[in-house]
Amino acid sequence: MSAPRKLFVKTYGCQMNVYDSERMTEALGGEGYVTTDRAEDADMILLNTCHIREKAAEKVYSELGRMRALKDANPDLKIGVAGCVAQAEGEEIMRRAPMVDLVVGPQSYHRLPAMDRAVRGGAKALDTDFPDDDKFDTLKARTKMKRAPAAFLTVQEGCDKFCAFCVVPYTRGSEVSRPADRVMREARELVDAGVAEITLLGQNVNAYHGHDAGLAGLIWDLSAIDGLKRIRFTTSHPNDMDDALIEAHGTCDKLMPYLHLPVQSGSDRILKAMNRKHTAESYLKLVDRIRAARPDIMLSSDFIVGFPGETEEDFEATLELIRKVEFGQAYSFKYSTRPGTPAAEKPQMPEDVMAERLSRLQALLTQQQRKIQDDMVGRTVGVLFEKPGRIDGQMIGKSDYLHAVYADAPADVLGQVRQVRITVAGTNSLGGELVR
């Protein structure tokens, strides 16, 4: 019996890419691959790429350059590029990096087994189509092996919003929702494998329409699964937060009090230029409605600083929105061009101006985050323990509010939700003690 081939996967970017990497690994497992943590030991290296960050494509080419020595040392090594950069670059990757054996887009990775067989036969393989066949139908059922307590589950892909700064509609395609029965089947498989918390994923997850009652209906169905203790979802668009979903935050015990709701800017003029189709006022009113339903909910958001044409007044409007909302977590970036998007054709802001504004914005966000973490001291929260800490006898998990929490606890708490009284607030984590 021949030894199994080894697969090394490097994942860039969002939670959806993490999920995609798991499914690609499972697909290639059917071809005899087992995973390895060392690229040097691999028979195939697969880079699952993201196109959201600045100069994403160039970073991929740089990574491929570093792997050239591995290919030289092992001519049988196969190298593949997957994900959004693969979708955007396509044949250009093959041209600029002849060492690459296969390129596959995020909607075509169910075809990886056939592509692997082709490259093993000496061919090159390229597939960046938006195929008619449903990749989730083609993929095998999730493996029965024991899993970590928390897992991602993609329910929606693509985007129809066409924000002026974003490549997602071009790399992931239009909005598509998985049928609820197939999501439920995969969720049950995850729970049977030991998963206690599922995060539902989508580029615009709250635009999900695979259930007659939308995302809220899916959440209520999932909440009836025995053994599933927690439900989360990300990423949401403000325009798709309907009444039923807001109500679910107040009434569904398994839906956690944490919501990522990107706003991008507090300036109506910039929001219009971004093609966001909401205003600062509509966003603030939405936040009020969500907090009326669930007063203790923690909000996070995304911010882009230095979008083309942003004035100091526009930037101050963003700071004012942040002061009004008080975010517990946020992701903030300087604007950077994405080829093919409308904003890429506009005059860019000076780098020093963007850097200075980002510094001010992040200082305010850090101040808010630290205050919310300090206010957690003395509170008792549910914590799903996921792994041992670096100190003997210490376990680490996530709170209801997605804070990292560590506490002295026996090993048998792994996979359990336990009540923890918070005693220490750190910069990026909380410490506490088991209550029961």
Domain ranges of the chain: 5-127, 141-256, 380-434
With cut-offs at 50, 70 and 90, classify the pLDDT of residue 129: confident
Q: Among the listed ranges 9-13, 121-125, 380-384, which one has the minimum average pLDDT value?
A: 9-13
- The mean pLDDT of 402-424, rounded to a whole number, is 96
Q: Among the listed ranges 211-215, 397-401, 423-427, which one has the minimum average pLDDT value?
A: 423-427
With cut-offs at 50, 70 and 90, classify the pLDDT of residue 55: low
The topology under which CATH files domain 141-256 is Transcription Regulator spoIIAA (3.30.750)
Inform me whether the pLDDT recorded for 142 exceeds 60: no
With cut-offs at 50, 70 and 90, classify the pLDDT of residue 320: very high
| pLDDT number for residue 185 | 95
Q: Is 289 exposed, middle or buried (0-12, 13-18, 19+ CB in 10 A)?
A: middle
Q: Is 250 exposed, middle or buried (0-12, 13-18, 19+ CB in 10 A)?
A: middle
* Cα separation, 311 vs 317, whole angstroms: 10
With cut-offs at 50, 70 and 90, classify the pLDDT of residue 133: low
Which positions make up the binding site for [4Fe-4S] cluster? Answer: 14, 50, 84, 159, 163, 166
Mark 197-207 as b/e (b = at least 16 C-beta within 10 Å).
bbbbbbbbbbb
The pair phi, psi for residue 98, each rounded to 5°, is: -60, -15
With cut-offs at 50, 70 and 90, classify the pLDDT of residue 143: low
Q: At what angle do helices 180-192 and 214-223 cross, to 10 degrees?
A: 30
* Cα separation, 275 vs 270, whole angstroms: 9
| pLDDT number for residue 428 | 87
Inform me whether the pLDDT recorded for 18 exceeds 80: yes
419: closest CA among 409, 248, 391?
A: 409
* Cα separation, 164 vs 276, whole angstroms: 8
More confident residue, 137 or 433: 433
> Hey, which CATH number is domain 5-127, 3.40.50.12160, 3.20.20.210, 3.40.390.10, 1.10.3720.10?
3.40.50.12160
Which positions make up the binding site? Answer: 14, 50, 84, 159, 163, 166
More confident residue, 196 or 145: 196
**Whole-model pTM above 0.85?**
no
* Cα separation, 214 vs 276, whole angstroms: 22
For the segment 83-117, what is each residue's pLDDT rounded down to a tens digit? 888 888 888 888 899 999 999 988 888 888 999 99
> Hey, which CATH number is domain 380-434, 1.10.3470, 3.40.1350, 2.60.40, 2.40.50?
2.40.50
Which residues lie below 8 Å from residue 433, measured CB to CB, with a gap of 6+?
407, 408, 420, 421, 423
For the segment 260-297, what is each residue's pLDDT rounded down to a tens digit? 999 999 999 999 999 999 999 999 999 999 999 999 99
How high does pLDDT run on average in the chain?
92
* Cα separation, 348 vs 83, whole angstroms: 27
- The mean pLDDT of 56-64, rounded to a whole number, is 82
Structure token pair of residue 80: 């593949």
> Are 168 and 203 in contact, with CB atoms under 8 Å apart?
yes
> Are 354 and 305 in contact, with CB atoms under 8 Å apart?
yes
Pairing of strands 404-408, 394-399: antiparallel
25: preceding bond cis by omega (within 30 degrees) = no
